[in-house]
Amino acid sequence: MIEDLKKAKYYLVALALALGGYVWVNQQGIRFLGDDNESKEQRSGYTRSYYHK
Amino acid sequence: MGSLLRHNYLGSSGTVNCPECSSTIKVLDYQNSICFGCPICHTFFKTERTSQKLRTFKLTNDSPVPAIPIGTKGEINGYTFVVAAFMIKKESGNEYRWREYLLINQEKGYAFLSEYDGHWNFIVGKNFLVDLKPKGNMYQARYNGLPFKLFNKYTPQVIYASGEFDWNILEEKIACREFISPPFMLVHEKQDSISDWYMATYKSSDEIAEAFSLKNKLLPAKIGIGANEVSSMEKQQNGVIKITLIAILFLFLYHVFSAYSNESAVIFDQRFTPERDSSSWGSTNFKTITTSSFKVNGPTMLDVYLNSEVDNNWLEVPVTLVEEKTGKFYEFTKAIEYYHGYEDGESWSEGSKSTDATLSRIPTGTYHLTIEPSSDILFPNSIRVTVNKSNSIWSNFFLASLLLIAIPVLQFFRINHFDKKRWMNSDYSPYRIE
């Protein structure tokens, strides 16, 4: 088992980093498949002002 | 490859003189060696009673200088060897050439190293492997539970030799068959009625350089794929599969932990009844609904569920999630439509009374929703709006798992491609050649 893992040690390191990134992405609430947000203006930095209740 | 003798007297020293150029050749196995190749004038001679010239090698394209000098000591598979001779051979009938090194171990006797296009094989006979008696036929063999497939058959010819031998290599007329099961190769040699088996193990030039304490760059560069070479991908494949499975398990546990360790998922749940907008009577619009505030502990992903008891009708629901401090907003539009009926003796239905939308990367803050429903009915049913905080984004898990699984699968196809390329050098490829 350990011998097998040693042979793929670079893959192990790369995957460990990728998993770290994955956890961070999930903690940020990012969905890989995108979402239903349609406010394009906001994505380019513009925010519409709303009257608060 | 010659017969293997006991080398009881290895270590005794002596010299012979070349009958052609009178060069002095140091002899390693003085008791057994009878034939010699002079590295100076390339004469091959026999020394039984008197020195007798047998042949002078004339090389045109090949260098007579061995990559591992004669007399070099090294250790392979725990055995100490000294390089006793160097040969260049070719296949009878074509121009494929390779180099062979005769190795002597004081206890076991002869072994060989062969090198073709930078691919090395360490070859031993029954003196090293007592049970080397493979079973099989002309096209396949089995040894130690491993299946070997015929890769090549040929008759080797010696075109150059230097060093010492305990047999006359020029008299060899061997029919050779090579069966592979990477990294191993079984070599069957038949001369007249005598046949013998040898076992070859693939060695990289790194291993050879380390075994003989040589610099790797002095060894021939690797070209193409060796007959019994194992691809680096294949060596890693078991590790890659195990690491991938561990990673998927880790992701699964992470998502399960996230799903059950955080606070309740429902952060907003309210029902609203749309009121017709009197200022636009006759149109399909209703008054804008503004919900009460709710807090979001982010960054997170929100699932917004919309439900309405529509019946053979539709309701379009544009929703805007507004952060009350900054005015940042997220908007989407969903339609709820449900139709059903009875036709030609069969019930039918289409659409759904509920729908949902996903908003990702929502920062911490206080939010409310504004809903601007529209429909062509005058008094629509109420709309239930539920906002769920997604503690665990399972679609990410499935997508990541799919990507992870793709790596060993891709590796498998690359290994397969490597194997196909290997067999392109053979007349006995198990793959269909187009």
Per-residue pLDDT tens over the stretch B255-295: 999 888 766 579 999 999 888 776 665 556 788 999 999 99
One domain, residues B225 and B351? no
| Number of domains within chain B | 2
Decide if B328 and A47 are in contact by the 8 Å CB cutoff: yes
Nearest CA in chain A to B324: A52
pLDDT digits (tens, 9 = 90+) for B386-432: 999 988 889 999 999 999 999 999 999 999 999 999 999 899 999 87
**What's residue B201's pLDDT?**
97
User: Please, which residues have CB within 8 angstroms of residue B194's CB and are 6 or more apart in sequence?
Assistant: none
In-domain check, residue B395: no
Structure tokens at B8: 């009881």
Nearest CA in chain B to A36: B358
Closest alpha carbon to B231 in A12, A1, A7: A7
Decide if B395 and A31 are in contact by the 8 Å CB cutoff: yes
One domain, residues B166 and B272? no
One domain, residues B275 and B220? no
In-domain check, residue A10: yes
Specify the pTM.
Answer: 0.77
In-domain check, residue A6: yes
One domain, residues B225 and B268? no
One domain, residues B301 and B366? yes
pLDDT digits (tens, 9 = 90+) for B322-355: 999 999 999 999 999 999 999 888 999 999 999 9
One domain, residues B142 and B219? yes
Calpha distance A15→B405 (Å, rounded): 12
One domain, residues B213 and B347? no
One domain, residues B188 and B307? no
In-domain check, residue A49: no
Decide if B359 and A35 are in contact by the 8 Å CB cutoff: yes
pLDDT digits (tens, 9 = 90+) for B38-50: 999 999 999 876 7
Residue numbers of the domain that contains B60? 14-230
Residue B330: strand pairing partners: B321
Calpha distance B354→B328 (Å, rounded): 27
Give B152's pLDDT tier (boundaries 50, 70, 90): very high
**What's residue A46's pLDDT?**
46
Decide if B368 and A53 are in contact by the 8 Å CB cutoff: yes
Burial of residue B380, with CB atoms counted within 10 A of its CB: 0-12 exposed, 13-18 middle, 19 or more buried: buried
* Side chain identity at residue A42, one-letter code: Q
One domain, residues B86 and B200? yes
Structure tokens at B301: 């992903």
**What's residue B16's pLDDT?**
86
**Residue that has been written with the tokens 């350089």 in this structure:** B209
Measured CA angle at B239 (ends B186, B113), to 5 deg:
30
User: Which chain A residues are within 8 Å of B322, Cβ to Cβ?
Assistant: 50
In-domain check, residue A23: yes
Residue A52 phi/psi, 5-degree rounding, is -80, 155
One domain, residues B284 and B219? no
C-alpha B29: how far from its chain's center? 44
**What's residue B202's pLDDT?**
97
One domain, residues B288 and B207? no
Contact B123, B111 (CB under 8 A): yes
Mutate which of A1, A2, A6, A7 to disrupt the B interface (most B C-beta within 10 Å)?
A7
| Number of domains within chain A | 1
Residue numbers of the domain that contains A23? 2-32
In-domain check, residue B183: yes
Residue that wins the pLDDT comparison between B257 and B377? B257
One domain, residues B207 and B331? no
In-domain check, residue A48: no
